[in-house]
Structures are given as C-alpha cells and as structure tokens.
C-alpha cells in the first residue's frame, strides 16, 4: 500500500507566521528560499509537529503568546488513490479519479495534545465534537503510518545526528520500494502487505487463546479478593488492539563515509567521538 501524497501545507499562528497564514504547495522537491528569520525553519517545524502529532512548546506559538482566538492552526492536503483512501466522507473526487483529503491540527495550550479533525465533504465542513467521526484514518497512530516521516538535517547539528537523519531518510525511501514488491504484477497485495495481513490474523487468533487464560486468572483473583473485600469483584479488560503492525526491514545496516574523491574515506562522525574511541582504546590496553 502506497502512502498518500501530500500536496499542500497551510500554516497559521505558528512561530513567526501570524493569522494571515502561509500556504505551501508541495511536490517531490520543495526549495524554501528566504532571508534569516523569514520562516523557513518554522515551515519545516510545522510539518514535523503534524506528521508526528507533537505537543507544542511556547516558542511554537505566534509571538510566543498563547491567545485563545489565535491558536496554532495547520492543515495538510493529501491526494489518495483507491488502495489508501479513508472513508468516503473525507474524500473529494478529483477529475483524474484520485481523491483530495484535508486534515487540520490545532493546539489550545503549551504541552497539550493536538486536536486533529478532517474536512467532511458530505456535510461540507470540518468535523466537530458530536459528529460520528472526527478524522480520516482513525487514531493518530494509524494516521501517522499513512503519512511521510520528516527527516530534518540541521546545518549545525553534530555529525552523528546528521548521519542518523540522512540514513533514516535513505531507509525510508528503500523501505517504501520494498513494501510495494509483488510476487506477480496481478497480485492484489504486495508481499509486505500479505505478511502484515497474516500477522493481524495471528494477533486475532492469539486474542482468543488469551481470553480463556484471562478468565481463569480473573476467577482465581476474585476468590482471593472476596475473602479480603466481600461483595467486590475484579474484571480484566482486554480490548482489541488497533495499533498498526510495522516491520523494521532494514535495521541499522547503513553508515556514511566522507572523503576526497580518490582518497581514503572516513566515517561521518565528530572529532569528539574519535577522541572518545581513542581514549577508550588506551584505557582498555592499560
């Protein structure tokens, strides 16, 4: 299953961006050009906080002020196809046969969870409390798995952090290709999706086995509880898991080497790390 394609980011009352807002059209490559403090880092931060549904710090609020009428407001517009679309109420049909999905995040305070809602095309408005459904793709954990993961490489980060961000991006690109491999082009599911589907069935089957064991434990616990607290009972709640199943296909098998063309390459890491390894080696030989 491919991920939805993000096509637009709309930001209001976030960082240095005020209520007038900024709209960014997104393609495969987006280049942000501007003077210092023009908002380039703010735009990148805005995508990070919605992609991972993060809580905000005071610096994320416009002018560092938490104002009820000007809470941070960030929208993402995505294009989906038949294999990754959510419920029909979120899908605006486009001329090419794909669908447009709109999601919006708002934060009403520092350190609070964001509120995510979708635009319901059936009733032509953003979802609100009291509606049957509030957002496409259900819970935030499931929705995150449908969204590209941000990989920021900051200029002044130490080399270890930069290398980790770059290799994470490399893994993300390779894993996306691997997840779409099919045994035959006519197969409905990729080999990865077939494995995940099988694991979901295994999880459901194991749940049935758990129920018998849980019932036995609950009975024994209540026999003891009744002797200590008469007329009280304990019940074990074990709801069905809705967490997405993810498989780490590539592990930690990548590194980065840098060096002059034709010369001897060296690992991308800081001098501090090299000195640490050297000292460690010296102590171990004492």
CA distance 113 to 69: 18
CATH of domain 5-144: 3.40.50
| pLDDT value for 276 | 43
Q: How many Cβ atoms sit within 10 Å of the Cβ of residue 137?
A: 23
Helix (H) or strand (E) holding 106: strand 99-106
Q: What is the pLDDT of residues 199-257, one digit of tens each?
A: 888 888 887 777 878 888 888 888 988 888 888 888 887 777 767 777 777 776 667 77
Cα-to-chain-centroid distance, residue 62:
24
Q: Measured between alpha carbons, how far is residue 145 from residues 26, 58, 114 in Å?
A: 19, 27, 17
- In this structure, of 32-41, 89-98, 174-183, 271-280, the range with the lowest mean pLDDT score is 271-280
Domain edges within the chain = 5-144
Instruction: Identify the band that residue 277 occupies on the pLDDT scale cut at 50, 70 and 90.
Output: very low
Quote the mean pLDDT of the chain.
82
Contact present, 118 and 134 (Cβ < 8 Å): yes
Of 180 and 24, the structure prediction assigns the larger pLDDT to: 24
Contact present, 151 and 234 (Cβ < 8 Å): no
Q: How many Cβ atoms sit within 10 Å of the Cβ of residue 184?
A: 5
Q: Which residues pair with 257 in a beta bridge?
A: 267
Report field, pTM of the whole predicted structure over 0.85: no
């Amino acid at each position: 299953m491919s991920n939805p394609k993000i096509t637009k980011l709309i930001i209001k009352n976030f960082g240095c961006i005020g209520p007038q807002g900024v709209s960014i059209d997104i393609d495969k490559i987006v280049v942000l050009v501007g003077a210092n403090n023009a908002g380039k880092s703010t735009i990148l931060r805005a995508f990070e906080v919605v992609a991972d549904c993060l809580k905000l710090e005071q610096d994320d609020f416009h002018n560092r002020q938490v104002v009820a009428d000007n809470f941070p407001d960030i929208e993402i517009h995505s294009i989906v196809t038949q294999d990754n679309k959510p419920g029909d109420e979120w899908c605006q049909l486009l001329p090419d046969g794909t669908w447009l999905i709109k999601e919006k995040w708002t934060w009403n305070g520092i350190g609070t969870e964001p509120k995510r809602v979708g635009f319901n095309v059936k009733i032509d408005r953003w979802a609100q409390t009291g509606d049957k459904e509030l957002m496409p793709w259900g819970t935030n954990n499931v929705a995150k798995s449908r969204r590209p993961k941000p990989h920021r490489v900051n200029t002044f980060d130490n080399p270890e952090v930069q290398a980790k961000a770059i290799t994470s991006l490399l893994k993300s690109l390779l894993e996306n290709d691997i997840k779409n491999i099919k045994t035959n082009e006519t197969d409905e599911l990729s080999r990865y999706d077939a494995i995940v589907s099988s694991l979901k069935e295994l999880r459901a089957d194991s749940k049935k086995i758990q129920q018998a064991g849980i019932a036995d434990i609950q009975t024994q616990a209540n026999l003891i509880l009744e002797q200590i607290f008469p007329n009280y009972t304990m019940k074990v709640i074990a709801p069905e898991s809705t967490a997405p199943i993810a498989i780490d296909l590539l592990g930690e098998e990548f590194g980065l080497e840098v060096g002059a063309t034709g010369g001897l390459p060296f690992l991308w890491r800081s001098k501090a790390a090299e000195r640490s390894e050297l000292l460690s080696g010296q102590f171990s030989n004492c």
